[in-house]
Each structure stands twice: as structure tokens, then as C-alpha cells.
Amino acid sequence: MRVILAGVLVASALALWLSARSGATVQQNDDYFLLAMTWTPAWCAATGAARGDARCDRGAGAGWLVHGLWPQHAGGGWPEYCDTAATAPGPAILAGMDDIMGSTSLARHQWRKHGTCSGLTAQAYFAQTRAAFEALDFPDAIRARTDARHLSPEEVLAAFRAANPTIGAAQAIVTCRQGRIEELRLCLTRNLAPRDCDAGVLARHCTAARATLPAKP
């Protein structure tokens, strides 16, 4: 009996996890947004240059770009690939995001994975993405130009918050990958005001003492 009960509990937990991750229904009552912004030279060093991505070409000058605007559940977790009646974005909408996302294919993927869970039309979702990103300032301290910089995650956050004083201590994190500063992630209300991140997001903050902010190619 104990074995059967344990199996039922595991199956139930798995079903709940899958419903939160794939084919979920849109829940707007308690959701917020996570704006993920990638330091492109770090992504190029880890992945992009090997792919021959144009953002990694010498002189491309790509710095902080939007990875995505991701719906989050206030209690933790996030939905993905939601069922939606919204029409998929057309070529003009996707291409219109190239200046802040750097890739039409990335914009398309972000809509499929996250935008469909936003409760917004594609046009409104990308308008929100742009508005959230363009409201931010990125100071020179976290915009390496010719030489790589070695910073603690806390120094990166301090510089970012100093340039954007409405952002509180528990409202943004830095992520690292392979010893490099990779992303800034900012938690926002559905009206794009900074808000506290949930514990799961905060737990992804980089724990390295220092990490490299690669220079632009």
C-alpha cells in the first residue's frame, strides 16, 4: 500500500510540474514578469561565436540585449508554451525587435515559449518587452568596451541599481556562466514597475566572488 501511495504522490507531483511548464493555461491574477538581459559578449564566448552568429562579429558592438520577457508565478515557477488564442507574430513584428534582441529567430522563440503565456497579443507582448528594456540605463561600469572587467556580482548590481534607483535589492539578480557575467534579470509587475523577485529567482543569483565581464569584440 505504501508503494502504491508513493507512486500516486510522485505521479501527481509530476503532473503538476508539467502543467506549470508546458501547455499551461494563462494565469494573470498573480503573475509578474522577469526581464532577462544578456551581456552579448559573454554569450558569444560561451555559445554564439561557435555558431558564427553575426552579433559576435568583430565590430558588431552588441552589448546588453533582451533575452526575453518571462511570465512568472508569484509563488514560484513559471509557465511555458501556453495554449493561446493570440495570433502568432508576423515577420514585421519579429524583425522590429532586432535592435534590442539581435535576432528574429530569438524573438520568435521567445513568443512561442513565453509570450503565449503572457495573456497579451504578440504586438502588445513585444511592445511591453521594448518598453521594459528602454526604460533602463546601463552605466559604463557594466558596459566593457575594449578591455574585459573583473567584477563581483554585487558590484554589477550596485552599478545597475545606481543608474536605475527605483530598483530595490531583491528586485534584480546577476547570473554567471563559465566564470563570466552572463545576464541581468529584473523582476517587474505587469505594469512594468520593479517588484521583489520570488525565492526561486533570487536563488539563481551568481555566487562567484568575481566574474569576467568580457569586452565587446
Q: Which domain holds residue 61?
A: 2-213
- Separation CA 10–CA 61 (nearest Å): 49
> 128-168: per-residue pLDDT in tens?
999 999 999 999 999 977 889 999 999 999 999 999 999 99
153 and 176 Cβ atoms separated by less than 8 Å = yes
Whole-model pTM?
A: 0.86
Question: With pLDDT > 70 as the criterion, what percentage of the chain qualifies?
Answer: 86
Helix (H) or strand (E) holding 35: strand 31-39
The band of 21, judged by pLDDT with boundaries at 50, 70 and 90, is very low
User: What does pLDDT average to over the chain?
Assistant: 88
Provide, for the chain, the percentages of residues in helix, strand and coil under a 3-state DSSP scheme, each rounded to the nearest 5. Answer: 40, 20, 40
192 and 33 Cβ atoms separated by less than 8 Å = yes
The per-residue DSSP string of 83-107 comes to ---SPPP-HHHHHTTHHHHS-HHHH
Counting the structural domains of the chain, the total is 1
187 and 195 Cβ atoms separated by less than 8 Å = yes
Query: The domain that contains 111 carries what CATH number?
Result: 3.90.730.10
Please give the angle made by the CA atoms of 101, 162 and 102, to the nearest 5 degrees: 5
> 162-188: per-residue pLDDT in tens?
999 999 999 999 999 999 999 999 999
pLDDT of residue 86: 96
Cell of 27: 494565469
> 66-109: per-residue pLDDT in tens?
999 999 999 999 999 999 999 999 999 999 999 999 999 999 99
